[in-house]
Structure formats: structure tokens, C-alpha cells
Amino acid sequence: MERTFLAIKPDGVQRKLVGEIIRRFEAKGFTLVGLKLMNVSRELAESHYGVHKDKPFFAGLVEFITSGPVVAMVWEGDGVIAAARKVIGATNPLNAEPGTIRGDFGANIGRNLIHGSDAPETAQSEIALWFSDAELVAWQPTIMSWIYE
Ligand code: IDP
Ligand code: MG
């Protein structure tokens, strides 16, 4: 099954939205296989957002993501990479649909609460960047036959 990397950013943690955000992915039927609360080093932040290093918002983005604890997660499920991006909503919360995490809780592009991998290749590299193999727990929820045909 597919896996994706999600991270609740410092604004989501500060605003006490950790439970609310995790609840949405659990309720959807995805399986949590990795979870940790952590401070993000500058090195990790710059590597994670390396694709944006030439953008004007890069310095502020690194500053923001290293400014407080982050909840790093790996979730598993059929089509979870694309589906999680839908649950998360558009990058700018002002454009994100109501019902999405950013649409329901965000009001600014620089404070959009959560990161989600955008493709299979980035999911794979982000999971490897943030988690060791030993930190990932493969397990079979017993309710699986009520979620998948
Ligand atoms: P995504 O998180 O929806 O994949 P990306 O375009 O990959 O969006 O941008 C990565 C992150 O950089 C965004 O989630 C947001 O935190 C930040 N960001 C993107 N564009 C801007 C901007 O114009 N101003 C400030 N921050 C931005
Ligand atoms: Mg992105």
C-alpha cells in the first residue's frame, strides 16, 4: 500500500490542532504508521524544502518550520498521497475549500498548518528524510475489511 509523509507545522501545534488533524486522517480510513513530535533542525528544514531554495519566501519558511515543534507522520492507504493532499486543501488557505484542513483553519499562505507529500517520488524521499526504518510500524488494522472492499 501507498505511504505519504505529513507534518503538522508549528502553527498547527501551537494552535492545539494536532488531535483535530490526526482525527481527520484516521476517520478517513488511513493508517498511521509513523509519528513523532520534534524540533526541526535548520539542516532538515533546508533539505525538506530544498526545491523552494530560490523562492523569495524560502528564508521565512525555514525560520517558520524551525520555530517550534512539528508533528511528523507517515500514513498508509490506497491512494493516500493524492487523497491526503485533498484533505489538506490548497496551499493558500484563502483558496482552500471549506471542509479541508487549510480551508477550515487557515487564513494565510505562510501559516497553512500542515505539509503533505505531493507525489510518489517526493513521498518516498520525504519519508526517508524524516524517519528511520525502525521508526515505522507496519500493522494491519482489524477493521480493514470495513474500509476496503
Ligand atoms: P504545498 O505545501 O501546498 O505543497 P508548496 O508550493 O510546495 O505548497 O510550498 C511549500 C510551503 O511554502 C507552503 O506550504 C507554504 O508554507 C510556503 N509557501 C508557499 N508559497 C508561499 C508564499 O507565497 N509565501 C509564504 N509562504 C509560502
Ligand atoms: Mg509542496
pLDDT in tens, 59-78: 999 999 999 999 999 999 99
The Cα 110–Cα 60 span in angstroms is 8
Q: Which atom of ligand 1 is nearest to the CA of 118?
A: 4
The values of phi and psi at residue 145, to 5°, are -70, -10
Q: Do the Cβ atoms of 53 and 42 come closer than 8 Å? A: no
Report the C-alpha gap between 104 and 124 in whole angstroms. Answer: 28
Residue of 115, 126, 130, 131 marked active site: 115
28-62 confidence digits (pLDDT tens): 999 999 999 999 999 999 999 999 999 999 999 99
Determine the Cα–Cα distance for residues 110 and 127; give it in Å rounded to an integer. 23
pTM, rounded to two decimals: 0.98
Beta bridge partners of 59: none
Q: What's the CA-to-centroid distance between 141 and ligand 1, angstroms?
A: 33
Report the pocket of ligand 1 as residue ranges, CB < 6 Å: 52, 57, 61, 91, 109-110, 112, 115, 118
Q: Which fold has domain 2-139?
A: Alpha-Beta Plaits (3.30.70)
Q: Considering only CA atoms, which residue is closest to atom 13 of ligand 1?
A: 91
Domain boundaries of the chain, sorted by first residue: 2-139
